[in-house]
Amino acid sequence: MSADTLSARPRPFRYRGALLPLALFALLAAVPFVAGALGQPFYVSLFTRIMIFAVAALALDLVLGYGGMVSLGHAAYMGVGAYAVGILSFHGVDSGWVQWPLGIGAAALAALVIGALSLRTRGVYFIMITLAFAQMLYYTANALSTYGGDDGMTLWSRSTFSGLLKLSDARTFYWVVFAALALSYLGLRRVVASKFGRVLRGCKENERRMTAIGYNTTLYKLAAFVLSGALAGLSGVLLANHTEFVSPAYMSWVRSGDLIVMVVIGGLGTLHGPIVGTVLVLVLEEVLSKLTQHWWLIFGPLIVLTVWRAKGGVVRLFGGRA
C-alpha cells in the first residue's frame, strides 16, 4: 500500500454495498412492530440479545478483519464492561450516567494494558497471549466471592437515566440497543474510511512496508485494539442490563470463539457482515436448541458448510464491501 493510496480520499458507498446494511437495519427496526402484531414479545428479547452481541462482533471485526489481529480473548472486555455495571449496582450505584462510562472506560483500559503487551508478539503467539489474558480475567471474576464468584451476580435493576429513559420497558431498551448498534456501525465506517483505517489495513497487508514508509504501526494497532475493547465493553454494559445478571461465563474463551465465528461467517472486514453473522448464528442456535439438546451436532456442520460455500462470508454473496 503506497503513501498515495493512504492520502487518497475515501471512496463513497457503492449502491450495491450500501443496500444490504440499510435493509438489515430496516429489518431490525421492524422487529418490535412485528412482535407486537404477532403477540410474541419474545422476539423483542431475542433480537435485543442479537444486537448486543452484534456490537461485540463489530468491535472484533475492527481488529480482526481490518487489522489482521486474531484476538481469542475479546469476550473478556465484554465481561469487564458487564462487571463494572454489576459491581456498581451491588454498591447501590444505579445511574447509567456513571455505570456506562465507567464500564466502557474500564474495558478500554483493560484493552490498553493487554494490547500493549500482546502487540509485542506476532502470529500464533499473539493469539495465545490474548487468550491467556482473557482467561486470567475469567479466573479473577471467578475468585470475586463478594460478587457471586462462579455463580454470578443478580442486578437489583437496570441502569437509570434520571427519568429520561425507562430501561425496564423492553421496547425502550430495544431502541437503546438499536441506537447503540447503529452508532457503533456508523462510527466504525467513518474510522475505516479515514486515513487511520487505511493505515490499519496496510498493517494487515504488509506491516513491514508500512513501517518503512514511516508509520508507527504498533501505535495504530494499539489504538484500534483499545477502540475495539471499548466497544466490546459497551456490549458488556448492554448485556448486563439485558439479563440483569453478571457471570464469569461472559469472559470465557468459548464466548470469544463464538464472536470469531460470527465475524467469519458474516464476512471479515465488512462491518455489516458481523451483524449478519450474529443474526444467523444466534437465530440458528435458538431454533436448533428447541429441536434437540444435541443441537451442536447439527450446528457445527452447518457452520462448516456456510464457510465452505460462502468464502469470504455470507455478505460477499450479495456484493457486500467494506
Q: What's the CA gap between 207 and 237, in Å, rounded?
A: 34
Averaged pLDDT score across all residues of the chain: 89
> pLDDT value at position 25?
95
| 158 and 173 Cβ atoms separated by less than 8 Å | yes
Q: Which is higher by pLDDT, 297 or 136? A: 136
> pLDDT value at position 18?
75
Place of cell 443474526: 279
pLDDT tens digits for 17-74? 578 889 999 999 999 999 999 999 999 999 999 999 999 999 999 999 999 999 999 9
> pLDDT value at position 319?
57
Confidence of residue 16 (pLDDT cuts 50, 70, 90): low
Helices (H), 39-151: 42-61, 75-90, 96-118, 123-143
On the question of pLDDT at 95 being above 80, the answer is yes
Confidence of residue 305 (pLDDT cuts 50, 70, 90): confident
Q: What's the CA gap between 265 and 317, in Å, rounded?
A: 12
> pLDDT value at position 291?
83
Percent of the chain residues past pLDDT 90, beyond the cut: 72
Helices (H), 157-194: 170-193
User: 46-50, 120-124, 273-277 — which is least confidently predicted?
Assistant: 120-124
pLDDT tens digits for 223-248? 999 999 999 999 999 999 999 999 99
Q: Is 153 helix (H, G, I), strand (E, B) or coil?
A: strand
Q: How many folded domains does the chain comprise?
A: 1
CATH number for the domain that contains residue 111: 1.10.3470
Q: Kind and range of the H or E element at 225?
A: helix 217-243
pLDDT tens digits for 192-233? 999 999 999 999 998 899 999 989 999 999 999 999 999 999
Confidence of residue 10 (pLDDT cuts 50, 70, 90): very low
Residue 7: give the domain boundaries.
3-318
Mean pLDDT of 250-276: 92
Q: What's the CA gap between 280 and 261, in Å, rounded?
A: 11
14, 92, 158, 164, 275 from 161: Cα distances, Å: 39, 14, 10, 6, 27
> pLDDT value at position 295?
79
Mean pLDDT of 63-91: 94
On the question of pLDDT at 289 being above 90, the answer is no
